[in-house]
Amino acid sequence: MDAGDPHASGGRAGADPRADLDGDPARAASAENGTGTRTGDSHAAGAGEQTAQSASAGHEAESSADSTPSRLSGTGSGTEADSGRGAGPGTDPDVNAARAAGAGGLAQAAGGGGGGRRGGPGDVRAVEEARGVLAGGGAPGELAEAAVRLLGERAADALRADPWLVLGLDGVRPEQADAFARAVLGAQCGPGDERRGRALVAHLMERAAEQGHTALTTDALKAALTRHSVPDPDAAVAAAVEDGRVLVFRAEGDLPDVPEDSPEEAAVPLLLGLDRYALAEESLADGCVRLLRTLEDPSDWAGAAAPSPSAAELIRAAAGSGLVLHTGGEAARAEPAALVTAARAAGLRAYAAAYTENGRRRLAAAVGEDAALTVEGLLSADGGPGRAGDGSLALDLLAVLDAPQLSVEEAATLVEAVPDGARLVLSGDPYTMWSAGAGRAFADLLASGAFPRVTSRTPDPGPIGELVSCVGEGELTPVDAPGKEVVVVPVRDPREAVHRTVQLVADSVPRAFGVPPGQAQVITPAHGGPVGTRALNAALKERLNPGPGRFGGFDPGDRVVHVPAPGRTFPGVVVGAEAGGLRLECERGPVLVPREDVAATVRHGWAVTGHQAAGIRWPAVVVVVPGDAGPLLTRSWVYTAFSRGERHLSVVQGADQGLAAAVADPAAKGRTTRLSSVLRELAAES
């Protein structure tokens, strides 16, 4: 790094409190960063933004797209309800996958669709009846369509009988649901109402999933219920379990020793999980064990030529096992590519899949276009290698790169699709950020020790590779960069950080490296705050593509990211607009975003968050490290952001010693999951 790099070692300033499941994480994050203010800036397209989950509650709080919260008139905090939530520094709506996708557990319990805002149910009468009930309780009528999708055509009756069901709609907070229930039920409403307890349990479990957890301890859930004034948390949990909204599991791990003659019995620790994640973890574990057990014919291509010793080791491992885990950095991606090439040369139906289109294109350069897919394309009905008669993928070997980006549900779906007797290689960099969705599937599979593992010995080249390798080991070490491959730009305050970022993208990087602004990517920890994506994108647009935002806040030539589903980020450029919506040119081709979806799924993309950047690389990257990033600044975020640049990395450094302290901390905050214990149970049964 530059000689002026202020990376002295030192303790991390301030505490890193764990956010309450029921607290306002945006407010908590503001407090952690020394601010007491909440900005109400909205999306460029006029959409308010959903609250972020605090990184200290489980991982870096990032999500796929800004989500417009439903606002209940006259309930809760007027400032938060009306301002567009989640604008403090250190807040970031990127891992709110459950809310972005819909109502999750409540939707399933009700037998309806998600709680999202888009689309319209066919029964106009049902919507009007629901609108009447909502209006009678002081709620805005625009919630009616989402309520009918969530609760079905008798949504109005359901809301009259159980008004706390509104808590399953996107953006509705517990205090708002309470106010609505008081308006509907009157004197019958109370904090101990069983209906309230059930709704709060589902809500809190969904919030935990937004933070990456697939399960919660009973103690954590009951403590959160107590903070919501539930007088009997045990009864509320029991009611939710009886109702089928959550499942109960015995927690694995070390238990306290209790003498046999002790009058006290050791309490059995329990975990609670939403059925969708419990089923996904069990399905994933079953599928992985199935692949190990159904491989009958070790291949004779184990000795195929390989470009490196690590590639040869991977080929040997995959030839003899139905499931292999492979770890390594960017350069190590050549090893699963070599495996696919060798398998194809031996006559096998072999394919490789990356999580992003950008990753697929890089993969295609090594294995060929016909063998390279995205995970989404692989699993689509009309894409990939096709399907066998039983619905499984018609292939003999599959290598999946970017495996840490797979949520537990995505991983389960993928493994279920691999046929008996086929080989699966899950490959990825264990130091990168975990998935935007719930779970830590790849990390849990590695931790289980149940599957063959190949660790690449191929280092990433150059100064950027050297720096990233050091970060992965917890060290922020200056590196020799004679060609200015790595440059550190110290800044004193947010205003200077924005100014220097724009200067780097618009002038310095193009002049020094020949990388045009359209190929240089800015990465910052959060959407909100003075150095978040919103502020940076506004400044970059003003410099690089000024305009009035005539198409819902966008102009032709604007760089954007399209996020059609949680965790799915597609960089693109605005081409124009028509009656049907906004036209984009993305890496995967032209995209027409329906007019009603633009505010929720498209945002400016000169600057993105770490989760949005994961799985994608650019010729040059400018990483902004704000001084108030707080718990969002973690080793895994730094590793992910720094490793996105192919030729050049500029670091706009406003955190002083906080950056080195963050890198020295553990690579990622914990997530409570069950996958490892499920795998141990299966191993014990075999």
Write down all domains in the chain, each with its CATH number in brackets. 25-246 (no CATH), 279-462+673-685 (3.40.50.300), 464-549+602-664 (3.40.50.300)
655/441 Cα distance (integer angstroms): 32
Phi, psi of 456 (to 5 degrees): -65, 145
Residue 281 burial (CB < 10 Å; 0-12/13-18/19+)? buried
Output the pTM of the full model: 0.81
**DSSP per-residue string spanning 243-259:** TTSEEEEEPPS------
User: For the segment 77-98, what is each residue's pLDDT rounded down to a tens digit?
Assistant: 332 223 332 333 333 334 333 3
Intervals of the chain under pLDDT 70: 1-122, 253-268, 302-303, 381-383, 667-668, 686
204/167 Cα distance (integer angstroms): 10
Q: Which residues of 17-30 are buried (b: 16+ CB within 10 A; e: fewer)?
A: eebbbbebbbbbbb
Q: What is the reported pLDDT for 683?
A: 80
- Which residue shows structure tokens 């009058």? 263
Q: What is the reported pLDDT for 410?
A: 96
How distant is the alpha carbon of residue 360 from its chain centre?
A: 19
Q: What is the reported pLDDT for 668?
A: 62
User: Residue 453: beta bridge partners?
Assistant: 325
Angle between helices 174-185 and 124-136 (to 10 degrees): 90
C-beta atoms surrounding 636 within 10 Å: 27
64 neighbors 92 (Cβ within 8 angstroms): no
As a residue count, the chain comes to: 686
